Chains A and B, each alone.
Chain A
Amino acid sequence: MLDIDFTFLFTGLNLIVLYLFLRKFLFRRVGDYMENRSRLIAEDIQKGAELKAEGEDFRARQEEALTAAAAECQSMLRTSREEAARRGDEIVAEAKKEATRLVTRAREEAQRERERLLADLRLEVASLALAAATKVVEENMDNERNRRLIEEFLDREGAA
């Protein structure tokens, strides 16, 4: 029962064979695989974090750009509104000026017309007066007093 026999030797050989086998096919293989995988996962997580940071950065920059664009838009809008207002004022002013000019010209025209009419009228009146005077003269040509009267009249009329 307690004798040492070849079982001792066989057990040693068996265990060495089993050890080499399991080391190669179980512990090295699976252990390396698991290690590789955990490294891959760690790398993936790292990469994910980097990508996320990059994304955050990108978003921040986009947001900044968007804000800038909005501000620019606002300022452009304001500028154009001012421009429009200015232009409108200008146009209105011009129109007013034009209207004033037109009114002035019309008034001048009217004035001129009246003057022309007055001149005509005076001419007419003069000729009428002349005719009357002629009549009067024909009546009392020698009447010095009358002739002076006519001249006075004519002067006064002419001054008018």
Chain B
Amino acid sequence: MEGIVAPHVYASVTLGERSVPLITDAVIVTWVVMAIIMVATLLLTRRLRPVPKGGQKVAETIVSLIEGLVKDQLGHHYRTYAPYLGTILIFLVLANIVGIFDILPQGPALAAVFHNPALAEFELEMHPPTKNLNVTLCLAVMSLVVAVGAEFRQRGVRGWLRSFYRPTPVSAFVKLLDYIVRPMSLCLRLFGNMLGGTIVMALMYMALPLFAPAAVGIYFDLFDGGMQAYVFVFLTMIYIAEAVETEDEMKQ
């Protein structure tokens, strides 16, 4: 259980007297997911035709789905924010369900098959990177940065500062609290769900290794992963919409 909760560290640097992990399994799985996304993107949009065919259809469906989703909340601002929201949606969906591909042979098995003792050290379990708090915290902070950036963009720095003491100076406290609570809630929700799902799945594999994990995995790996990705993106979108829309309402 410790191996699931704690990140697997591949390289670390020493800062002062503490050794801080540099490369963890979350980073490596993120790279794998990114590589898959990038290669898939290039393959799907290789040759664009007026009448879509094969991969282009998939790419167009994904793009129009995401743009429609963002347009519902942000209206005409969707052009600015759809790429970011789409990126984290695609990334989170794939990163959250990557647990079902946890089929890589681990070090000892590789060493036995290839008669190479050097391989025994190899260990990479395809667990969702979002079960690492650092990843979700970074995503949540980026969502906050994007939302505040949208506010800057919409009202300027001065308008942003003014929003602290409007309608009353007390609201500055609420707003500051918002800036802390929102990313914390985003980050912990995703982190807790993914870590909990991974732990439950590990327990399932331990208790009933044969058929039960397949049935339970549909919920914990696929449904919950997609759900949480959607919720994360949706909440980020609502924060951006809040920053963007008030200005439009003020103009009216």
Contacts and interface: CB of A to CB of B under 8 A. Distances in A.
**A–B: direct contact at CB < 8 Å:** yes
Interface of A: 1-12, 14-15, 17-19, 21-23, 25-31, 33-34, 37, 40
A25 B41 contact: yes
5 contacts: A5-B7, A6-B22, A12-B141, A23-B83, A34-B64
Contacts, number: 114
Contacts of B63: 26-27, 30-31, 34
Given A8-B137, A27-B86, 20 more contacts: A5-B7, A5-B21, A7-B7, A7-B21, A7-B135, A8-B134, A9-B138, A12-B138, A12-B142, A15-B142, A18-B38, A18-B91, A22-B37, A23-B83, A23-B87, A25-B41, A26-B62, A30-B45, A30-B63, A33-B48
B91 A15 contact: yes
Interface residues of B, number: 47
A1 B133 contact: yes
Instruction: Give chain B's interface secondary structure class.
Output: helix
A98 to B, nearest CB: 85
A11 B21 contact: no
B50 to A, nearest CB: 6
B67 interface: yes
B83 A18 contact: no
Nearest to A9: B138
Contacts of B174: none
B30 interface: yes
B59 interface: yes
B134 A14 contact: no
A21 B60 CA distance: 17
B82 A30 contact: no
B154 interface: no
A138 to B, nearest CB: 143
Interface string B19-41: 01111101100110010011001
A2 B187 CA distance: 12
Which 7 A-B pairs have CB atoms at the shortest separation, nearest pair first? A7-B134, A23-B83, A11-B138, A27-B83, A8-B134, A5-B21, A19-B87
Contacts of B24: 5, 7
A1 B3 CA distance: 10
A29 B67 CA distance: 13
Contacts of B67: 27, 31
Given A11-B27, A18-B87, A29 B20 contact: no
B144 to A, nearest CB: 12
A25 B60 CA distance: 12
A40 B42 CA distance: 25
Contacts of B198: none
A8 B84 CA distance: 18
B137 A4 contact: yes
Nearest to A23: B83
Interface in B117-156: 129, 132-135, 137-139, 141-142
Contacts of A17: 34
Given A12-B142, A15-B87, A26 B7 contact: no
Contact of B30 (A11, A27, A30, A34): A11
B90 interface: yes
Contacts of A6: 13, 20-23, 27
A97 B37 CA distance: 111
Contacts of A2: 133
Nearest to B64: A34
Given A10-B30, A31-B63, A37 B50 contact: yes
Contacts of A23: 83-84, 87
